[in-house]
Structures are given as structure tokens and as C-alpha cells.
Structure 1
Amino acid sequence: MSVRTPVPLRSEYRYFLRIPTRWGDNDAYGHVNNVQYYSWFDTVVSRFLLDTGEIDLRSSPLIGVVVETLCRHHAPVSFPDEVDAGLRVGRIGSSSVRFEIGIFRQGEEAAAASGHFIHVYVDRATQRVPQPIPDSFRAKLAPLLVAEGG
């Protein structure tokens, strides 16, 4: 018997990005296809990273490589919904960050989906050698930091 994971609430997230659904996001069952949720996760994390100025997609010597993902579905989303992708940081390690994401339909407090990406920051040239997260980057992650898993 599995333990039911509580559905995260909007108030538990620190950074938000509004994302419109598209007609093509729906699957044959009339709701957004599973793969689209990971695209939304990637979009909110990438937008936050770009907004910090710490990561430049073309030239940063440090890049984040996704080493783990998870998505839990709590309620359906369908076109023409607009969603708010909420972001928080569950953990900052020496070279890794656990980004936690909630997907919220407009006006709803409970997440329609939730999950995480774990990025390990590596040297761009090798894409293998973990690198310490610079203090300036840690300072920009800190406002999003919450206790792991909530």
C-alpha cells in the first residue's frame, strides 16, 4: 500500500511564470499530454535561470545537466487553460540544485501537477566534471529555498 503524497499549494512556491496551453498540447482524451508537463517544468526553470543573469545559454562556463526528474499528476489540464508554473528550490548542494515545480490552473490553489528537476552543474567543455555553485548564484537561489518537499 502506497502513501498518498499531499497536493502542493500555490502559496508554497516563490516564483511564477504564466504559460498558455495550445490546442496541440491536448491528447486524444482531451487533456494535456504527459510530455507537455516536463516542457513546462523546463520552461519555468530555464526562465528563472535566465532572469538571474547567472546562466547564459551560449557562453556560461557552468551549465546545469538534468540528472533526475519526477512528475505527479493531481488533476487534468486542457486547452484553452493557462497555467501558472510555480518554482521553489528544495535543496542546494555543492554542485547540484533540486528545483521543485507546481503547475496550477488559473485561480486554483492546489497543483494540477507537481514534481522536480535535479540539475548538476558541470563544466561546459567536458559536460561531466561537477563544478561548485558560485556564491553569486547561491544568493539568487536562496529566496526560492524551502524545506525539501514542501
Structure 2
Amino acid sequence: MTDRQHLRSDYAHFQPITTRWHDNDVYGHVNNVTYYSFFDSAVNTYLIEVGGLDIHDGAVVGFVVSSSCDYFASIAFPDRIEIGLRVGKLGNSSVQYELAVFKAGEDEACAAGRFVHVFVDRESNRPVSIPDGLRKALSDLLVG
């Protein structure tokens, strides 16, 4: 991620998330580790709903192999947020997602992160080519 501002217009897809009471930490804001859960939920919802990923019985699963997040402003329950999603890199068996957390209706991100999925065969845990349906869904989010 760069140090530049992350704007809503930079992202191709948005997943609404409702913060929960237990997301807040003792400092009264959403704890930093919870952002990774938001990212994971946004990506997997997209992969299931748009890409047709079968998380229960499909031959292919995605393993997170790298992740990071930068924080710019706090969020707290009961904030309504949206996770902006785009694809920065799309390889044969891997994809790098770029994500941002926006308060509903706001243009500037409160946080921005990335993570990398490697798609593997469910049985062998060996990398495989991204299936066509998932590749199409991910290509639709590819930037640049």
C-alpha cells in the first residue's frame, strides 16, 4: 500500500459490514485484528456470490499467505462500514486483493490493507490454476 489517500472511487466493489458490540476493545474502538476479519468476510462473500466458490465441497480452496493493514482513522460500534475491494495482481494460482474500510457515506478510507490468496487443491493442498469462474470474477476487479 502506498502512503497516498485511499478514496472510495479507487475501489470496484463494496461489501457492507455491520460492526458488532464485541468488535470494540477497551479503548472504545474496533480492535486492529478485527479489520482482517472484515477483509476476509468481504473477499469470501464476493468469491462465493460472484465467483461461485463452493467453500464446503469445492475442489479448490484459497489460503491466505500474506496480509497487512494500515490504519488512518478509528471506527467503533455501531458504525456502519463498507469494505472496498479491488484486485491488484492476478496470477495463475494467486491473487492480491487490495481493500479499504469506509464509514458508510464517507469518501476517505479509515484503513487500507491487502492480502494474498493462493488457490490450492482441497485434497493435496498443492497450488492449482484459479478456476475460470473465479478468474472471471477476480478479473472484473483488476485495477490498471
When the two structures are aligned, how many residues end up with a matched partner?
143
2:96 matches 1:134: no
Query: Residue 83 and residue 132 in structure 1: after superposition, are their counterparts in 2 closer, same or farther (change >3 A)?
Result: same
Which position in structure 2 is the counterpart of 1:89? Answer: 87
Moved more, 14-23 or 67-76: 14-23
2:41 matches 1:52: no
Which position in structure 1 is the counterpart of 2:143? Answer: 146
Q: 2:119 aligns with which of 91, 100, 121?
A: 121
Q: Which AA in structure 1 matches 2:6?
A: P
Task: Tell me the C-alpha RMSD between the 2 structures.
Answer: 1.2
List alignment gaps of at least 5 residues for structure 1. none
Which position in structure 2 is the counterpart of 1:6? Answer: 4
List alignment gaps of at least 5 residues for structure 2. none
Check conservation: 2:51, 2:136, Cα contact below 8 A.
no
Identity among equivalent positions (%) equals: 47
Structure 1 residue ranges (4+ consecutive) displaced by more than 2 angstroms after TM superposition: 134-137
Q: Deviations over 1:36-71 (max 9, x none)?
A: 100100000010000124310111111110000011
Q: C-alpha separation between the residues in 1 aligned to 2:40 and 2:80?
A: 17
Measure how far apart 1:28 and its partner are: 1.0
Which position in structure 1 is the counterpart of 2:61? Answer: 63
Which position in structure 1 is the counterpart of 2:101? Answer: 103
Q: Deviations over 1:69-111 (max 9, x none)?
A: 0111011001110100111011100110011111001121111
Check conservation: 1:7, 1:74, Cα contact below 8 A.
no
Q: Which AA in structure 2 matches 1:139?
A: K
Check conservation: 2:51, 2:137, Cα contact below 8 A.
no
